[in-house]
Amino acid sequence: MLVIACPFCGPRAENEFLCGGEPVRRPDAATGADGAALAELLYARDNVRGPQDEFWWHKHGCRAWFRIRRDTRDNRILP
Amino acid sequence: MRYSILSLARNALSGHAHWPRAWRDPPLQPAYDAVIVGAGGHGLATAYHLARDHGLSRIAVLDKGWLGGGNTARNTVTIRANYLREPSMRFYAAGIRLWEELSRTLNYNVMFSQRGQIDLIQTWAKLRDVKRRQAALRLIGVPFEILTPAQARERLPLLAPEAPVRLPVLAASWHPTAGVARHDAVAWGYARAADAMGVDIVQNCEVRSIRREGDRVIGVETARGFVATPRVAMCVSAHAGDLAATAGFRLPIETVPLQAFVSEPLKPMLDVIVNIPQFATYFSQSDKGELVIGGGADAYPSYAARGSFAVIEEAVAAMLSLFPALKRVRMLRQWAGSIDLCHDITPILSPAPVAGLSLSVGWGSGGFKAIPIGGVALAHLVATGAPHPLAEHLLLSRFAKGRPLFETAGASNRL
């Protein structure tokens, strides 16, 4: 069980949270509604093997969104 | 050598000391007509069909470990067709028909046991969904029935009598053509049959990157040097993202752990596959007597290949609430595989954005059942460049068109 530090509530068990995944790169306004660019934004992922920044949501707590850095090889949460 | 009752008798007389090797250990050639990356079920089945149905002669299957040693060895071997979307139903129903013939096709006993699957329905929403699925499956000729709780208990004596539990069983579905098979035998059977047709299966030969020239694939860089080829097929499951990055594109795939457990061996007590969809938990009894239990996927991406304790607790709690007789059963082993979960839970069997590269990835929690039909479809794609008629819904271009095909029938979600 991961212990995730919510910036408001402190350390809590992983099943209070929902992982929001890696941050996505927004296309600039010039891209408009180009299908390939939107698909890249909405669906494609770096799926990093190693340290990655990710969003988490304290779903069963204060309901805040925040970012942590986690190593996807061993789930260690990095400072 | 053809396996038969005669070859068995002959080898029994000589103390089984003279069985020939089932496949060669060939040296890596500098060039091939097609290179398949990943010697799991899908890679081996694809090589087999490329050689048998499309007449390609110089084919290599490369693997960084040993053949059938990845998710082919780690899954819970459930074969079924009760998917949500019509093209998925058709695809997996065709898959079941291949499974029914597979031992004969490969001259190798894959121990396919078509024992049927019972899903226990605990919510009205799921019951409505299952009724719709029953009608849709009937239209394409897959037998699928709804059972009352009393009928389910008759078929499944292990299920607890009606009791005040939080989510009582409202109904059940019965999928008689579902089954299980011996996972290693599937890899070994395809490997042996492909090898007999001249396919080179090269193990301990990691593919590190895909080399392209302009928009075209020209080969792969391996741990043993460069291999030139105009056609590459990627069957690498959780490592899809790494390999795609070397060819310069990204995929709508996340790598997630999926867990399974086996119990101590028990006397025969369960002759069907039981699924508890509300909690993404399912189990069957193996020929050795162990209960093989699958849990849900973890709720966050990871390459750690070890599942979260929260998932173990949820799977066990769901199982014991309906099957309290299993309370004192001890677990023998627990493990996890890394699955390649596609954004819409539908796999990708498609040309890649790089010419000459074909993808068979994103199988998520459901790759094993798709090995025979996936091999047929990927071989068709690699050889002809066009998608197989049963696999047109699996193209990567569905995302750019804004038409992802959201599936729900997987261990990777709860709907």
Mutate to test the interface with A, among B303, B413, B414 (most CBs of A within 10 A): B303
> Is residue B57 a part of any domain in this protein?
no
Q: Which residue has the tokens 């990835």?
A: B361
Mutate to test the interface with A, among B242, B300, B311, B398 (most CBs of A within 10 A): B300
Q: What average pLDDT score do residues A33-49 get? A: 86
ipTM: 0.91
Q: Which residue has the tokens 């460069």?
A: B226
Which of A45, A49, A72 is closest, CB to CB, to B252? A45
How many angstroms separate the CA atoms of B126 and B117, rounded?
16
Q: Pull the structure tokens for residue B367.
A: 């790759």
Between A and B, how many residue pairs show a Cβ–Cβ distance under 8 A? 71
Q: What average pLDDT score do residues B254-275 get? A: 95
> Is residue B326 a part of any domain in this protein?
yes
How many angstroms separate the CA atoms of B219 and B237, rounded?
20
CATH number at residue B144: 3.30.9.10
Q: Could you tell me the domains of chain A?
A: 3-25+33-78 (3.30.2270.10)
B353 CB near a chain A CB, below 8 Å?
no
Which residue range is the domain that position B168 belongs to? 114-178+254-340
Cα–Cα–Cα angle for A13, A16, A19, rounded to 5 degrees: 100
Q: Which residues contact A43 (CB under 8 A, 6 or more apart)?
A: B252, B343, B399, B404
A36 CB near a chain B CB, below 8 Å?
yes
Count of structural domains within chain B = 1
> Is residue B381 a part of any domain in this protein?
no
| Per-residue pLDDT tens over the stretch B28-81 | 999 999 999 999 999 999 999 999 999 998 999 999 999 999 999 999 999 999
**Is residue B413 scored above 80 in pLDDT?**
no
Do residues B238 and B339 touch, judged by C-beta distance below 8 A? yes
Of the candidate ranges B97-101, B139-143, B316-320, B389-393, the one whose mean pLDDT is the lowest: B316-320
Confidence of residue B415 (pLDDT cuts 50, 70, 90): very low
> Is residue B144 a part of any domain in this protein?
yes
Confidence of residue B124 (pLDDT cuts 50, 70, 90): very high
* Contact yes or no for A47 and B253 at CB 8 A: yes
**Is residue B414 scored above 60 in pLDDT?**
no
Q: Pull the structure tokens for residue B281.
A: 């938990």
pLDDT for the residue numbered B367:
95
Dihedrals φ, ψ of B281, to 5°?
-130, 140
**Is residue B172 scored above 80 in pLDDT?**
yes
**Is residue A64 scored above 90 in pLDDT?**
yes
| Per-residue pLDDT tens over the stretch B178-223 | 999 999 999 999 999 999 999 999 999 999 999 999 999 999 999 9
Confidence of residue A29 (pLDDT cuts 50, 70, 90): low
> Is residue B31 a part of any domain in this protein?
no
> Is residue B167 a part of any domain in this protein?
yes
> Is residue B154 a part of any domain in this protein?
yes
Q: Which residues contact A33 (CB under 8 A, 6 or more apart)?
A: none
Q: Which residues contact B321 (CB under 8 A, 6 or more apart)?
A: B165, B166, B167
pLDDT for the residue numbered B280:
86
> Is residue B238 a part of any domain in this protein?
no
pLDDT for the residue numbered B410:
55
Cα–Cα–Cα angle for B220, B223, B228, rounded to 5 degrees: 25
* Contact yes or no for A40 and B250 at CB 8 A: yes
